[in-house]
Chain A
Amino acid sequence: AQTVTQSQPEMSVQEAETVTLSCTYDTSENNYYLFWYKQPPSRQMILVIRQEAYKQQNATENRFSVNFQKAAKSFSLKISDSQLGDTAMYFCAFMRERANSKLTFGKGITLSVRP
């Protein structure tokens, strides 16, 4: 079975600064996908960024980037130039590359951006 661990329950960052959210996972699979989802207060869960395990290059989406360390089974999210709108819960998630696979979520981390 796959597990996803987010050991930090909460983090806080000053507006315009950079913050890194940690995530580790455990799997025996070689091909899989990793995701970071954002859930703002009382709003829809949205995909922030995704990473295919077979790609060595770290995914980047504007101010969001990941540090994917396959051997260490680590998948951290870096948010640069933090904005007040980044305040949300962030969930790390894992999915095997199979048609019947399900998304396994971590427990999430609450990020607060201070003005």
Chain B
Amino acid sequence: EADIYQTPRYLVIGTGKKITLECSQTMGHDKMYWYQQDPGMELHLIHYSYGVNSTEKGDLSSESTVSRIRTEHFPLTLESARPSHTSQYLCASSELGAGAGNTIYFGEGSWLTVV
């Protein structure tokens, strides 16, 4: 199994609350990603990072923000949660270079419900 961890796994919060989803990996990977996935649906890339102090928007627009202060840590924050943010959020990581390091490893996901 990959060494990438997400917390919390499940969370129910009220509208307007601030929430941070944590993601950590112990593989020393430079690249990290956040995907959003509704149940039984495809994955949408919402944020990614090539390394410390690097963050980029993904293919799907998201009101969330991310930071990359340490290599192993890539938290995602929602400043004011809304019911439309209810979804599963998957964190992933991979090595930076092309070649054998291109395999992406996923965390177990964080299920967020905003009521």
Contact = CB atoms under 8 A, between A and B. Distances in A.
Given A99-B96, A102-B48, A33 B102 contact: yes
Contact of A35 (B50, B58, B103, B107): B103
B40 A89 contact: yes
B108 A43 contact: yes
A97 B48 CA distance: 17
Interface residues of A, number: 24
Given A95-B102, A102-B45, A44 B107 contact: yes
A82 to B, nearest CB: 20
Nearest to B6: A44
**Interface of A (DSSP majority class):** loop
Interface residues of B, number: 26
B42 interface: yes
Contacts of A45: 90, 92, 106, 109
B90 A107 contact: no
Interface string A87-110: 001010001011111110111101
Contacts of B1: 44
A11 interface: no
Interface in B23-49: 33, 40-43, 45, 48
Contact of A100 (B2, B50, B99, B108): B50
Interface in B61-113: 90, 92, 96-99, 102-109
B9 to A, nearest CB: 10
A44 B50 contact: no
Nearest to B35: A105
A108 B106 contact: no
B106 A91 contact: no
A44 B42 contact: no
A16 interface: no
A107 B109 contact: no
Interface of A: 33, 35, 37, 43-47, 50, 89, 91, 95, 97-103, 105-108, 110
The 7 A-B residue pairs whose C-beta atoms are closest, nearest first, are A45-B106, A107-B42, A97-B98, A44-B108, A105-B43, A33-B102, A103-B104
